[in-house]
Amino acid sequence: MTITDTLNDPRRPGILVGESVEMRADYLRPRLDLLRAQLEPGERLLAQGRAFEPYRDSYELSQLISGPGCAVVVTERRVLWVSRDDQRWVRILPFTVVRSYVELTQAHRYGLVLEHEGLERWQWVPAHRFLGWSWGDAEDLRPVRRSVLGFSRRDTAAAGAVRTQLQAAGVPAGAPRSLPKRQHGREVPYRVLRAQRHFGRQA
């Protein structure tokens, strides 16, 4: 299936009612090309499409799953995603380094929290700090041990491919979590999920 088929076939999961398919295809196509260029010889493409990642450390799916999102590619070895037309910002997560994961749902929205070995990634950080205040945006290369990917629904092709490969790799899964609906001015804090941090030791 070509990228055009993936993005324009209304039978494919992940198409949101009221979206401009052409606009989304124009946004995703160069980013998917960037991701596919990272694949190694013999690496098999299982799924591709759109996902979402948090701007900062928030698990509020109703806010996370909005806007153009990022392009995502899933192979039998790893999941890759990128939200910018910049190779430095390509996120690559081999399934072999994932130590545990938890599925999140909030209404129809779906997310995966993946705990993994330490990796270095470019991150948005405050450009300025003074006492307890911070403002502005800057880039910094920082270590991460957790990745979060959001999807419009649980049954998108990319979400299903990630789950399948995690299961094939024998990665332990925590108990699925259903997040409460967002209250005005409030977000789901990380403490809702902090038990997941200890899941690998309990399994």
Kindly tell me if the per-residue pLDDT of 26 is higher than 90: no
Asked whether residue 141 is domain-assigned, the answer is no
The pTM assigned to this predicted structure is 0.75
Asked whether residue 130 is domain-assigned, the answer is no
Give the chain's end-to-end CA distance (angstroms, integer).
Answer: 39
Q: Which residues lie across from 177 on neighbouring strands?
A: 104
Kindly tell me if the per-residue pLDDT of 29 is higher than 50: yes
Look up the CATH number of the domain holding residue 184.
2.30.29
Looking at residues 134-163, what average pLDDT do you find?
86
Asked whether residue 59 is domain-assigned, the answer is yes
Asked whether residue 122 is domain-assigned, the answer is no
Confidence of residue 138 (pLDDT cuts 50, 70, 90): low
**78: containing domain:** 3-115+148-202
Report the pLDDT value the prediction gives residue 13, as an integer from 0 to 100: 36
Confidence of residue 7 (pLDDT cuts 50, 70, 90): very low
Looking at residues 52-72, what average pLDDT do you find?
71
The token pair at 44 is: 């098999």
